[in-house]
Amino acid sequence: MRAWAALIAGMLAIPNAPPSAIAQDKSVLTFHGDVSRSGHFVVPALSVEKARSLRLDRTFDAAGVGPLYAQPLYWRPSGANGGILLVAAENDVVQAIDATTGKESWRRKVGRPVSRGSLPCGNIDPLGITGTPVIDPATQAIYFDAAVELSGGIRHQLFALSVKDGTVLPGWPIDVAEALQKSGRRFDPAVQNQRSALTILDDTLYVAFGGHFGDCGDYHGWVIGISLHDANKIVSFETRARGGGIWAPGGLSVVGGELVFATGNTMGAQSWSDGEAVFRLGADLRRSENKKDYFAPSDWKTLDAQDADLGGSNPLPLDLPGADGGRPLVLALGKDRKAYLLDRKDFAGIGGQLAVQTVSETEIITSPATYPVGKDVFVAFQARGARCPKASGGQGLTVLKISPGSPPSMTTAWCGALRGRGSVIATTTDGQSDPIVWALGAEGDNRLHAFRGDTGAPIFTSEPLSGLRHMQTLIATEDRLYVGADERIYSFKF
């Protein structure tokens, strides 16, 4: 894995990272803070008591530039006095904002977004930049996919912009369909949509695709890898059956130098053809027929018929502590309301889960977050819990406890009162202490909520925040929390 991926994991904490693994650099370069998508941010100053006095900074005047689905990123190189927020919106505009004042540093419009009327189906209007970008410290650039409408039709283009001034790097943008065509592959940009967060591994940019809302056209689940330094070096994975989109906002997780992702329902598949699955692929994206490299529920065909995507939420790598150095796991959450616990070293093919449990009363379609509590690993996600403790304070937010054992066990630790569908994050002060779960009530009460991570006791509830989208997630830096919304960014000080 490239050095930058290791840097991210250290500075913003992978699951169960000890305090010694926390670096001083506080940039947020990718979705949920690290390449494993843990959503666990180590913020030494943010104790439970400090969280109670959180306040909205009304002097922070950051006017946004359009509808916002992608998570903001935060760039603060070592030695810098301050940082900037990078925000990418659906109107195909990327904006750099001073993270202290909210003043715009630069903005770059990369094309004309696609109007809803030009699409065969969908529910985003206009359609531009949806998947969360990624920043590469080595090139000091931000990378993203933009849907653009040209005179010749709809295209997906991959851009690289300098984080310093927003200029387009030489050799970019790269047209996805044209790049795949050179390798003999056909990609229809009109029916493919890009919702998942991008990632970088071994100097290669990885981008995942699904379809549009409504499942129209001959779309497939795609993962495409393009070298940061040579556009002719391209690798790809495509689901064999129609459908199988990679929908989750968290998209691709990187763990152990491999990519882990989940697919949704396929259409018309009589034998399993890559839908409703969790895959582990190497950097070359070469398909493996070995059962240790894929998983699908035994009722995958029923899930196909019900549009119950396993890929509505991204798989989450977990590490249970233990004398043997810990057991590596993956937790997959689906629209079928179930949690599947997998052995990360052996996914075991169809029906190969270590444990499965119905954990919610509603579909799970946002990204989870994980953090340690004692010898257990907790996983928080937005959904009404199916097994909430009687003393629990409410519904809408569910937290599972994964405990060591053979097999490991899953129980519901607590549930929280939340009305809305935003993704969650967790913070601790040193990797273990003062765990706090933060959740957005997007498209519901539109408030920011905080709960004690160990007990679920409410800590903080903000005033209503306008413009929140259900795929949105907040980020934590050394002294602030930031929430992206349509036309503006909210800054909370502690």
- Which of the pair, 57 or 17, is modelled with greater confidence? 57
Domains of the chain in start order, with CATH, are 3-493 (2.140.10.10)
Q: Pairing state of beta strands 234-238 and 222-227?
A: antiparallel
What angle is formed at CA 264 by the lines to CA 263 and CA 268, rounded to 5 degrees?
A: 115
What was the pLDDT predicted at 365? 93
Q: What average pLDDT does the chain have?
A: 93
What was the pLDDT predicted at 25? 60
What was the pLDDT predicted at 324? 54
Helix (H) or strand (E) holding 155: strand 153-162
Confidence of residue 17 (pLDDT cuts 50, 70, 90): very low
Is the pLDDT at 326 greater than 60, yes or no?
A: yes
Pair 439, 397: CB distance under 8 Å: yes
Tokens of 190: 């009109």
Tokens of 68: 């916002």
Confidence of residue 291 (pLDDT cuts 50, 70, 90): very high
| 3-state class (DSSP) for residue 333 | strand
Question: DSSP secondary structure string, 169-209?
Answer: PTT--EEHHHHHHHTT----TTT-B--SPPEEETTEEEEEE
Sheet holding 199-201, edge to edge: 199-201, 204-209, 222-227, 234-238
**Ramachandran class of 396: left when φ > 0, alpha when ψ lies in -120 to 50, beta otherwise:** left
CA distance 2 to 342: 26
The tens digit of pLDDT for each residue in 373-413 reads 999 999 999 999 999 987 666 689 999 999 999 889 999 99
Q: Residue 22's Cα: distance from chain center in Å? A: 21
Confidence of residue 65 (pLDDT cuts 50, 70, 90): confident
Is the pLDDT at 46 greater than 80, yes or no?
A: yes
Q: Could you tell me which of 253, 313, 248 has the C-alpha nearest to residue 33?
A: 253
CA distance 457 to 463: 19
Question: DSSP secondary structure string, 208-235?
Answer: EEB--TT--SS-B-EEEEEESS-TT-EE
Helix (H) or strand (E) holding 11: helix 3-12
What was the pLDDT predicted at 392? 67
Pair 147, 114: CB distance under 8 Å: yes
Confidence of residue 211 (pLDDT cuts 50, 70, 90): very high
Sheet holding 349-350, edge to edge: 253-255, 258-262, 278-281, 294-296, 349-350
Pair 421, 366: CB distance under 8 Å: yes
What angle is formed at CA 483 by the lines to CA 479 and CA 489, rounded to 5 degrees?
A: 100
Residue keyed to tokens 């930049």 = 129
Helix (H) or strand (E) holding 381: strand 376-382
Q: Could you tell me which of 211, 217, 190, 86 has the C-alpha nearest to residue 143?
A: 86
Residue 260 main-chain phi, psi, to 5 deg? -125, 130
Share of the chain above pLDDT 70, in %: 93
CA distance 259 to 223: 10
The model carries a pTM of 0.94
CA distance 1 to 201: 6
Helix (H) or strand (E) holding 437: strand 436-440
The tens digit of pLDDT for each residue in 100-110 reads 999 999 999 99
